[in-house]
Structure 1
Amino acid sequence: MTKKQKKPWPTKDVMHQIYDMHLWGGKDFDFYSGEGSHNPEIINPYLDAIIGFLNAFAEKITVCDLGCGDFNIGKHLATYSKKYTAVDIVETLIERNKKLFKKDNLEFRCLDISKEALPQADCIILRQVLQHLSNAEIQSTLKKLEAFKYIILTEHIPVGSFTPNKDIISGQGIRLKQNSGVNILEAPFNFKIKNEKQLNKYVLDDKKGRIVTTLFEVF
């Protein structure tokens, strides 16, 4: 007899475990969203690019940050938006963020972005979130993103050519070890857009890959 395969944990439970056990590092922090949210070499050029985009509008636009994490990034961006809604799947993290970060135009909400309705906004920010999700969860999320005008998507992908969108079980890891990464324009997603523009790129090295931020304008 073969052993029954264990069902993967629900994504909400996985993300709670990641923060509870500090699987992304930051032992001295209460919550820590990883080096990609704290290393100045990575985040400062990213912030410059996003703030430049937001400042290009004559009137401030509304922003929804999906997967806001410990808010070490979002705290710098809320000022440049008319309203900034920060979303994460981890309840304890959202409750912590509500206590630490307060602005008149800032709201925190706990949602599973693949299963629940998303807040209205002009622009979606998705920073290194899809890379942790299964293809089914990505597909479900992308269907909702068709309703937004702008999507600023950041993904950690291999350097050079790679096979896009190999499926994974949602969790701490990403597709990099499989020489894969998320590309929403490729199969099986084939997300339809009007325009795209690369806003920022940070290359770690040939083995650790690159972090690429792209602005998509949706039909």
Structure 2
Amino acid sequence: MIEKIKKPWPTKNAMTQVYKKKLWGGNAYDFYSGYGSHDSNITTPYIEVVRDFLTAFKEPLVVCDLGCGDFNIGKNLVHYTKKYIAIDIVESLITRNKKMFVAENLEFFCLDIVKDELPPADCIILRQVLQHVSNAEILNVVDKLYNFKYIILTEHIPLGTFAPNKDIISGQGIRLKQNSGVNILEPPFNLKVIDKTVLNEHILKNNKGRIVTTLYKLF
């Protein structure tokens, strides 16, 4: 049984080092959230399906982006929301984002989504975030997801069948090398939802898995 995190953990330092040392590449950028946030073959269809979801409502939704990164994707979605709340654990990244991206309905906060209280919203965006953190941390996040009606979750997972939710140490890497990936509906997370819709799936070349975006409705 996985115990939930109760004591301080090094994720903040680990993610700060990822950006400082450019472990996801992007030497030409000040901050770079990886090719998954910059390759147009991945980002364009993702932005389109999320935009279509957000614009399907009579009244715009309040969206909370957990792990907004360099905001190369989020900047394209702000216009379609009542309020867009962008959160990341890396303080220097949030400071930079506040200067670069300004809109009346946009707010940035430096928060740890595992231990900090999350702002109220209609919809959560979690894009390739949980794949980088331990099962204990994911458990803490999953508990908080029940406060929101919609979850748009994107995960990098293996092709075909795989063993879900093998544990890792939080940081740069993901579970792919273990033929694993995050499935928050499976143990030990067991998120309870009333509806599930796959919005987008991108198959990566050279057997590097697939990036799947799923919409969950919780109530």
TM-score scaled by structure 2?
0.95
| Counterpart for residue 164 of structure 1 | 164
| Counterpart for residue 82 of structure 2 | 82
Distance, in Å, in 2 between the alignment partners of 1:13 and 1:211 is 26
| Counterpart for residue 148 of structure 2 | 148
Indicate conservation of the 8 Å contact 1:67/1:126, yes or no: yes
Cα drift, residue 205 of structure 1: 3.3
Distance, in Å, in 2 between the alignment partners of 1:155 and 1:146 is 19
| Secondary structure, aligned partner of 1:47 | helix
Indicate conservation of the 8 Å contact 1:202/1:211, yes or no: yes
Cα drift, residue 28 of structure 1: 0.7
- Kindly provide the CA deviation profile for residues 33-64 of structure 1, in whole angstroms up to 9, marking residues without a partner as x: 00000000000000000000000001101000
Aligned-residue identity in percent: 66
AA matched with 2:71:
F
Distance, in Å, in 2 between the alignment partners of 1:89 and 1:212 is 23
Q: Indicate the RMSD between aligned Cα atoms, in angstroms.
A: 1.0
Residues 29 and 206 from structure 1, CA distance in 2 versus in 1: closer, same or farther, beyond 3 angstroms? closer
Distance, in Å, in 2 between the alignment partners of 1:61 and 1:16 is 30
- 1:44-193, aligned counterparts within 5 Å? 44-193=44-193
| Counterpart for residue 194 of structure 2 | 194
Runs (4 or more) in structure 1 with deviation over 3 Å come to: none
- Kindly provide the CA deviation profile for residues 157-196 of structure 1, in whole angstroms up to 9, marking residues without a partner as x: 0000100000000000000000000000001111100100
Indicate conservation of the 8 Å contact 1:158/1:206, yes or no: no
Consecutive unaligned residues in structure 1, runs of 5 or more: 1-7
1:36 matches 2:36:
yes
Q: Aligned residue pairs: how many?
A: 212
| Secondary structure, aligned partner of 2:204 | strand
Distance, in Å, in 2 between the alignment partners of 1:118 and 1:26 is 30
Consecutive unaligned residues in structure 2, runs of 5 or more: 1-7
Cα drift, residue 207 of structure 1: 2.3
| Counterpart for residue 4 of structure 1 | none
Deviates more, 1:36-45 or 1:204-213: 204-213
1:21 matches 2:9:
no
TM-score scaled by structure 1?
0.95
| Secondary structure, aligned partner of 1:185 | coil
